[in-house]
Amino acid sequence: MGELVTFHGKTDGSSTEGVFELESDILHGTVSYIRIPKGMKAKIWAKRIGGAACDLIVEYTHDVTAADPWASPTTMELESLSSSGELKIEKRRPIILRGFTGKEAFRVKWKQSTAAESHIALEVEFDELDS
């Protein structure tokens, strides 16, 4: 039952680091993190970064309902667009983030040496945990 969803986000242009507000064709509104349903996994197949130089960091937490869920997240991946342009990362094997309790979540952060506008797109597949 795997289903691919494209999420898009952009830096705010004025902060050198922050959390992407993600939007998508299936989303009403935006989200700053994605909670993974219990018994499912999120597979991040591809990332695209465009615009100004930017680091993209994927963080994962086991309990997004905790008082400070992102206090010590697990950093799952860091990709760097080292100068203005475009970076496309297509994985033969995706990053897999599992939903063991239904409280797991991930978010995507940016870091820049100079604040400027950058855009990202992620291809995320939601699939059964045992598939």
What is d(CA 29, CA 24) in angstroms, rounded to the nearest whole number?
9
Stretch of 8-16, 29-37, 71-79, 89-97 lying at the interface with another protein (CB under 8 A): 29-37
| Token pair belonging to 64 | 């997004």
In the set 28, 71, 92, 114, which binds another protein (CB under 8 A)? 28
Choice between 32 and 95, CB closer to another protein = 32
What is d(CA 64, CA 45) in angstroms, rounded to the nearest whole number?
23
What is d(CA 129, CA 18) in angstroms, rounded to the nearest whole number?
30
Q: Map residues 88-107 to x or -, x wherever contact with another protein holds by CB under 8 A.
A: --------------x--x--
What is d(CA 21, CA 15) in angstroms, rounded to the nearest whole number?
14
State the residues that interact with another protein by CB under 8 A.
1-3, 5, 25-29, 31, 33-40, 64, 102, 105, 126, 128
